[in-house]
Amino acid sequence: MRLKLGVNGERREADILSGESLLYVLRERLQLPGSKNACEQGECGSCSVYLDGTLVCACLVLAAQAGGREVVTVEGVSDGDELHPVQEAFVEAGAVQCGFCTPGFVVATHDLLCREPAPTNPEIREALAGNLCRCTGYEKILDAVHLAANRMSRP
Amino acid sequence: MRGMETVPKIPTRERPAAPVQRPGKVGEDSVRVDGVPKVRGEFEYSSDLRMDGMLWGATLRSPHPHANIRSIDTSAAEAMPGVYAVLTHEDVPGRKVYGMEIPDQPVLAWEKIRYQGEPVAIVAADHPETARLALGKIHVEYEVLEPLADAEKAMKSDAPKLHLSGNVLRHVKIKHGDPEATADVVVTGEYEVGMQDQAFLGPESGLAVPDGEGGIDLHISTQWLHVDRDQVAESLDLPPSSVRLTLSGVGGAFGGREDLSMQIHSCMLALHTERPVKMVYNREESFYGHVHRHPAKMRFEHGATKDGELVYVRARMVLDGGAYASSSMAVCLNAATFAGGPYKVPNAEIDSYLVYTNNPPCGAMRGFGAVQACFAHESQMDKLAAELGLDPVEFRIQNAIEAGDTLPFGQKLPAPAPVAEILRRAKAMPMPEEKEVMGRDVRELPGGVSNVTHGEGVKRGVGYAVGIKNIGFSGGFDDYSTARVTLSIEDGEPLVRVHTAAAEVGQGLVTLQAQIAHTELGVESVAVLPADTRIGSAGSTSASRQSYVTGGAVKAACEAVRERLFERVRDEFGEDPNKLSIQDGNVVSGGSMIVSLDELLGSDEIEETVEYHHRETYPPDENGQGDVHLQYAFAAHRAVVEVDTELGLVRVVEISTAQDVGKVMNPQALEGQIEGGVAQGLGLALMEEIQMKDGKILNASFTDYLLPTILDMPPVKMEILELADPEAPYGLKGVGEPPTISSTPAIVAALRDATGRELRRVPVRPEQLVGIAERPPEQPPQPGSAGYAEIGRLDERIEQ
C-alpha cells in the first residue's frame, strides 16, 4: 500500500506492507534511523516521536495509522544545523554515553519542557519514566533536563 | 528460491568518518566527539546500516533447552518468494564450532540442542518479515530430552554429560594457610545470585558485505574486533586477511558483546547470496542471543577472633555456566580469587565450580565473577559484625587489606590499596536528609505514583559494602593493545591521527584517546580513526582495561612520535632532545620557541605503531596460588533505602561511594561510569533477573525483565581518590566495574537494616522483604492455587 504522511515538515510517501510499524517505515523506508529499535514493544521509549503533536512510541503505531498525519522525529527537533537547547544540554551535561536511548530522551524531554518549562525532579522522573537508559544511571540526564529548561526559559 | 535476477554490483561502503576533535588534556572534562551526532539521531549504529540490494537475515532457534535433532527440512522455506538462502550446519564452510576460550559452541546446531534459543538454521530474504515467515516453514524434528537445569545436579556423577569432557567445566581450588584453623566466632551463610542480563539497548546487529573475491567485510557492534575476526575466519574457512571487521556504532555492551552472536551467520548468508546481508535481533531474540551473568549458589563460612580479627574463610561457589563455555573459565577464577574480599584473612579454603547445564550460556558481565563473590562476602561481614557486636564499617576497616598484604591466592597486594580509607570516606559522607514520611509527595515514597502507601509502614535502612576487582586480562594471558599515531600538517595546522581497534561502546574511549594525544603531543586537533582490523588487536573492551591498555598504547605511540620529532629537531637545530617540549603546535626548549610543527614537518608525516603489553601475570598453581592479577581497583558504597514493610516495595534514597581511580582522566566520563555502574548494581539488588523454569526463559522482554528507570535511581554522591598506580599509564586504574560490584550488597545490607530479614538472595523480591518467602517459589502460583478452588475463579463468579 501507498502511505502518505508528513515527516519533519515534509510530505513523504512510501510503499509499505500493511504490517509495518511506523518505526520500521521511518527507519527502513524513509531513511530516518534516528528513532531507535531497542525493544520494539513500547517499553524503552527509544523510538519516541511526535504523532500530530502527541508523544508516542513509533514501534507501537502501525505505519498505516500515520497516514495523513504529521510525524516529528529526533531528526526534526533541531532547526537546521543548530542544535536544539535540549540536544545541546544532553551533550554538555554528559547525558550521552552509548547514545542508543538518546534520541528518545531528546524527544521526550522536548515534549516535557514544552508542557512544563521548569519541571521539578519528581516531575522529570515521572515524565521520563518511559525511557530506559542502560549507561548513565540517569543522573546526567536529570542535569541535562534542568540545563535545557534554564536555557529555554531565557528570553 | 529466487536469486536468479540481475544483482546490482556490490558497492563498497565508505569508511566511517573520523571527525577532528579538539579534546581537553588528560584530567579535563572533554565533551565527547560523538555526542552531537548521537543527539541528532545521526550516529550510525550497527542496526542502522543499509546498502542497496541488501538482504535481511533471520535465525531459527530451538524452542527446547535439551533435544536431539532428528532432521531438518528447509525445502518449504527455500520455495518462498523473496527467500534467497536457507542455511544449516551443513553449510558452515569451516570450523563448525566457535568460542573465545574453548570452541564448544556450534555455529548452527547439529545432532544436539543444549539450550533454548540455540541457532539451528538461518535465512536471508528481501524483507525482515519474509525472513521471519520463512523460519516458520523450516521443519525441524526434535527428540525432546529432559533438561539438566540445575548446576548442583549437573555436578553429580550420574548426571547425563552435556559435553564429552563432563559437566564441570572448571574447578578452582584455593588453599591458603592452615586448613584446620579454628575461631572464636563462626558464621555461615548460603547466598544466591540470579541471572542478570546486560540489557544493552542497541540490539545485536551488523551488515556483512561480500567483496566479490571470496572475502568479506563485516560492520559490527562488538567489544573485541580481532577475537571476532579470528572466530569468523575459522568458521568461514578463510584466512583472517580476507575477513575485515569495522566497528559500527555500539549501543552499549557490558560484557554481552564479547561472544559472537550474528557475526558468522551474516557472513555465511552474504557469501552464499553474494549480497550484503543485515541481521538485527529484536529484544526477545537478544535475550537468547547473548550470554548472561552467571547465577551462583554459594556457601560461605567465616571465622574471627573475639576481638574481631578474621581468621579464616571457607567458601564453596557453584556458578551455572549454561550450555557453553563462553568466558566461564576466567569467571570461575575471578570468583575464586575474590571470595575472600578485600580483607586480610590468613587462612582460606575456596572452591569455585563452573558447571555446564541446559540453561542459557553465561559469560561476561560487568563485574565478572567478583559480583557474585562480593554479595556473599559482604553479607558475611555484616553477619560477623552483628555476631561480634561491632559496627559493620569499623569491623571492615579493622580487617581491610593493605598494600603488601597477601591475598588468599598468594599474591602480594600492590600499592595503592586504600580499602580502609574508602570505607572511612563512605561512612563520613553526609547522610541524606530524612524527610518525614507521612504527608510526602507520593513520588518520593516506595511504590511512587502507584500510590500504595502514604508513609505508613515505611522504614529506613542504611548499609555498607566494599569490593575488589582485578583490572585487565590476567592469569597468564598476554594482554596488549596496538596503537598507530600519525602526526602531520593539514591545512597549515598540526593534526594527530590515532588508530586503534579498541571498541568504543559508550564509555568515552574515543575521547580519551584524543585527550591522551593532545596531552602527549601538544596538538589540539586530533582525529580518532574508526576502529577496525586494519591495525593489530586492542584486546577487549572489558575488564575495565581499555583506559589502561589502549590508553597505554596510545600514550606509548605518541611518545615514539615525539621522540622522532625531537631527534629531527636535534639534527636540524642542534637542540638537546631531552629539553624539548611541544606547546601549542610549536617545539620549545626552556621557554623559547625553536620551530613550529608546520615549518618542521611541511608535508612529511611522522607515524609510529606501538604494541603495549602490560606486566606479565601467571595462572594459579594447583593450590590456587600465584601472581594472578595485574591491578586491583576498590570501591565502597553506602546505601540508604526506604522500605514499605507491608508491601515489600523499595525506594533507594541515595547511594554514596568512595572509589580510588588512580587518576581522573575525564571527570564527566568518570562520573558517568560510576553512576551507570551503580544503576546496574541497583538493578541486580532489586529487580533484574532472567527467570528460568526447566531451562526456559520466562521473561525475555523489557516488559518482564525489569530495568531501573529514572524513577528507581537515586542521586549518587561520590568521593574520588587519585592514588597513582606507579605501573599504570598516568597512574590510572580501571573504573568501569567497581561501581557495579559493591553497590548491590550495600543496598541489600540497607534492606536488612530496614526489615531485619535475612535476604540471602538477589534480586531481593517483595515476598522476601515482607517475610513470606526467602526465595521465589519453585512453582509460581497458578490460577486455582490461591483458594479459587473453593470460591470459584473470578471469571466464573462474574458469569454466575
Cα(B177)–Cα(B317) distance, rounded to whole angstroms?
20
| pLDDT of res. B772 | 86
Break chain B down into helix, strand, coil percent, rounded to 5: 30, 25, 45
Cα(B536)–Cα(B528) distance, rounded to whole angstroms?
15
Model confidence pLDDT, tens digit, residues A12-43: 999 999 999 999 999 999 999 999 999 999 99
Cα(B344)–Cα(B302) distance, rounded to whole angstroms?
12
The phi and psi torsions of B267 (rounded to 5 degrees) equal: -65, -40
Q: Choose from A37, A73, A86, A145 for mutation: most chain B CBs within 10 A.
A: A37
The strand pair at B586-589 and A48-51 is best described as unpaired
- Position B582, amino acid: I
Listed residue (B584, B582, B554, B552) closest to B568, CA to CA: B582
Q: Do B449 and A133 touch (CB under 8 A)?
A: no
Does B416 lie in the same domain as B305? no
CB of B600 closer than 8 Å to CB of B568? yes
Exposure string of A103-141, with b = 16+ CB inside 10 Å and e = fewer, is bbbbbbbbbbbeeeeebeeeebbbbbbbbbbbbbbbbbb
DSSP 8-state class, residue B242: G
Return the percentage of chain B with pLDDT > 90, whole number.
Answer: 92
Return the percentage of chain A with pLDDT > 90, whole number.
Answer: 97
Residue that finishes a domain, picked among B368, B395, B422? B395
Chain-centroid distance, C-alpha A14: 21
- Residue B103 maps to which CATH number? 3.90.1170.50
B297-303 mean pLDDT: 98
Q: Is B15 inside a domain boundary?
A: no
Q: Which residues of A touch B251 (CB under 8 A)?
A: 36, 38, 98-100
| pLDDT of res. B3 | 42
Does B329 lie in the same domain as B235? no
Omega within 30 of 0 (cis) for the link into B738: no
Listed residue (B67, B105, B613, B96) closest to B328, CA to CA: B105
ipTM: 0.99
- Residue B431 maps to which CATH number? 3.30.365.10
Residue of B nearest to A39 (CA): B283
Cα(B233)–Cα(B243) distance, rounded to whole angstroms?
6
Q: Choose from A25, A57, A86, A100 for mutation: most chain B CBs within 10 A.
A: A100
- Count of C-beta atoms within a 10 Å radius of residue A67: 13
DSSP string, B662-687: SS-S-HHHHHHHHHHHHHHHHHHHHT
- Count of C-beta atoms within a 10 Å radius of residue B56: 23
DSSP 8-state class, residue B758: -
Chain-centroid distance, C-alpha B663: 22
Return the CATH architecture of domain A2-76. Roll (3.10)
Listed residue (B240, B242, B231, B286) closest to B106, CA to CA: B231
- Whether B106 has its CB under 8 Å from any CB of chain A: the answer is no
Instruction: Copy the grid coordinates of residue B116.
Output: 533454548
Give me the domain span that covers residue B192.
164-197+292-395
Place of cell 571457607: B314
Does B224 lie in the same domain as B102? yes
Instruction: Copy the grid coordinates of residue A152.
Output: 529555554
Does B528 lie in the same domain as B653? no
Q: Which residues of A touch B250 (CB under 8 A)?
A: 98
Task: Identify the sign of the CA torsion B737, B738, B739, B744.
Answer: positive
Please count the structural domains in chain B: 4
CB of B122 closer than 8 Å to CB of B59? yes
Residue of B nearest to A29 (CA): B50
| pLDDT of res. B773 | 76
Give whole-number Cα distances, A84 to A46, B11, B36, in Å. Answer: 18, 35, 11
Q: Do B34 and A141 touch (CB under 8 A)?
A: no
CB of B643 closer than 8 Å to CB of B597? no
DSSP string, chain A: -EEEEEETTEEEEEE--TT-BHHHIIIIIS--TTS--S-SSSSS-TTEEEETTEEEEGGGSBGGGGTTSEEE-GGGTSBTTBPPHHHHHHHHTT--SS-SSHHHHHHHHHHHHHH-SS--HHHHHHHTTT---SSSTTHHHHHHHHHHHHHHH--
Instruction: Copy the grid coordinates of residue B251.
Output: 549501543
Cα(B659)–Cα(B670) distance, rounded to whole angstroms?
11
Q: Cβ neighbours of residue B495 under 8 Å, at least 6 residues apart?
A: B20, B487, B488, B489, B523, B525, B526, B527
Q: Is B26 inside a domain boundary?
A: no
Task: Supply the mean pLDDT for chain A.
Answer: 97
Residues pairing with A72 in the sheet: A50
- Count of C-beta atoms within a 10 Å radius of residue B9: 8
- pLDDT of B183 over the 90 cut: yes
Q: Do A33 and B282 touch (CB under 8 A)?
A: no
- pLDDT of A154 over the 90 cut: no
| pLDDT of res. B4 | 44
Cα(B774)–Cα(B191) distance, rounded to whole angstroms?
11
Place of cell 576502529: B531
Q: Choose from B30, B39, B711, B735 for mutation: most chain A CBs within 10 A.
A: B39
DSSP 8-state class, residue B222: -
Q: Do A98 and B505 touch (CB under 8 A)?
A: yes
- pLDDT of B7 over the 60 cut: no
Cα(B250)–Cα(B202) distance, rounded to whole angstroms?
7
CATH number of A85-153: 1.10.150.120
CB of B555 closer than 8 Å to CB of B520? yes
Model confidence pLDDT, tens digit, residues A41-67: 999 999 999 999 999 999 999 999 999
Q: Is B375 inside a domain boundary?
A: yes
Higher pLDDT, B478 or B782: B478
| pLDDT of res. B6 | 46
| pLDDT of res. B670 | 98
- pLDDT of B790 over the 60 cut: no
Q: Do A38 and B203 touch (CB under 8 A)?
A: yes
CB of B707 closer than 8 Å to CB of B688? yes
The strand pair at B97-98 and B105-106 is best described as antiparallel
Residues pairing with B564 in the sheet: none
How many angstroms away from the CA of B699 is the closest CA of chain A? 13
| pLDDT of res. B468 | 98
Model confidence pLDDT, tens digit, residues A105-125: 999 999 999 999 999 999 999
Model confidence pLDDT, tens digit, residues B443-469: 999 999 889 999 999 999 999 999 999
Q: What residue ranges of chain A are covered by domains with CATH 3.10.20.30?
A: 2-76
Does B727 lie in the same domain as B605? no
The phi and psi torsions of B389 (rounded to 5 degrees) equal: 70, 30
Q: Give me the residues of A, 62-121, that contact B with CB < 8 A.
A: 73-75, 78, 83, 87-88, 90-92, 94, 96-103, 106
Q: Do A87 and B39 touch (CB under 8 A)?
A: yes
Using DSSP, state whether B90 is helix, strand or coil.
helix
- pLDDT of B9 over the 60 cut: no
Cα(B139)–Cα(A88) distance, rounded to whole angstroms?
52
Q: Which residues of A touch B252 (CB under 8 A)?
A: 97-98, 100, 134-135
What is the band of B599 on the pLDDT scale with cuts at 50, 70, 90?
Answer: very high
Task: Supply the mean pLDDT for chain B.
Answer: 95
Does B315 lie in the same domain as B186? yes
Instruction: Copy the grid coordinates of residue B163.
Output: 559435553
- pLDDT of B106 over the 70 cut: yes
B387-403 mean pLDDT: 98
DSSP 8-state class, residue B573: H
Cα(B797)–Cα(B475) distance, rounded to whole angstroms?
64
Omega within 30 of 0 (cis) for the link into B763: yes
| pLDDT of res. B476 | 95
| pLDDT of res. B717 | 98
Does B584 lie in the same domain as B501? yes
- Whether B44 has its CB under 8 Å from any CB of chain A: the answer is yes
Task: Identify the sign of the CA torsion B124, B128, B129, B130.
Answer: negative
Residue that finishes a domain, picked among B395, B426, B459? B395
Instruction: Copy the grid coordinates of residue A50.
Output: 511526535
Give whole-number Cα distances, B205 to A28, B50, B56, B663, in Å. Answer: 14, 12, 11, 35
B390-404 mean pLDDT: 98
The strand pair at A70-72 and A48-51 is best described as antiparallel
Residues pairing with B483 in the sheet: B500, B610
Listed residue (B388, B31, B50, B435) closest to B205, CA to CA: B50
Residue that finishes a domain, picked among B360, B395, B430? B395
